[in-house]
């Protein structure tokens, strides 16, 4: 899997996780146009140029702002040394690994697919909020 694909997949997973964490029992209203969430100003501009009026585009990071990296999420089955080095340089946390390509061992938070998804959602919410929130 290429780094670009992995980044896109992670962004899509984050959108699903955040939607699941805040879900209620109210059905969603039908929309005329899809909502596209772009992480950076560059991606927002590209999507607006490609989609035109066919989509509502929302940007997470606004122009001339600091992204405030709070967490780096290493893959649970890989050596965490790169994530730890990046965390030291940025002041971010790197203590919450995500299950991506593999399930965890028996007895772990990632031992089944459902437990893995719940553990990943919790780790992301905790990382993005600096530990103030849990899913």
DSSP 105: P
Q: What per-residue confidence (pLDDT) applies to 5?
A: 53
What is each CA distance from 3 to 7, 10, 17, 69, in whole angstroms? 6, 10, 20, 18
- Determine the length of the chain: 135
- Walk me through the domains of the chain, giving residue ranges and CATH numbers: 1-19+32-66 (no CATH), 68-135 (3.40.50.1980)
Report the SS3 class of residue 58: strand
Per the CB < 8 A criterion, the answer to whether 18 and 37 are in contact is no
pTM of the model: 0.49
Dump pLDDT digits (tens) for 1-43.
555 655 555 555 555 555 555 555 566 566 788 888 888 889 8
């Amino acid at each position: 899997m290429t780094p670009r694909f992995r980044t896109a997949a992670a962004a899509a997973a984050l959108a699903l996780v955040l939607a699941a964490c805040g879900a209620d029992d109210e059905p969603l209203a039908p929309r005329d146009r899809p909502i596209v969430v772009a992480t950076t100003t560059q991606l927002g501009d590209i999507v607006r140029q490609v989609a035109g009026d066919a989509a509502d585009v929302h940007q997470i990071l606004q122009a001339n702002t600091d992204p405030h990296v709070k967490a780096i999420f290493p893959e649970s089955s890989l050596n965490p040394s790169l994530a730890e080095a990046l965390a030291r340089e940025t002041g971010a946390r790197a203590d919450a690994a995500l299950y991506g390509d593999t399930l965890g061992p028996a007895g772990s938070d990632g031992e089944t697919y459902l437990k893995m998804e719940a553990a990943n959602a919790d780790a992301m919410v905790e990382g993005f909020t600096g530990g103030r929130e849990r899913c």
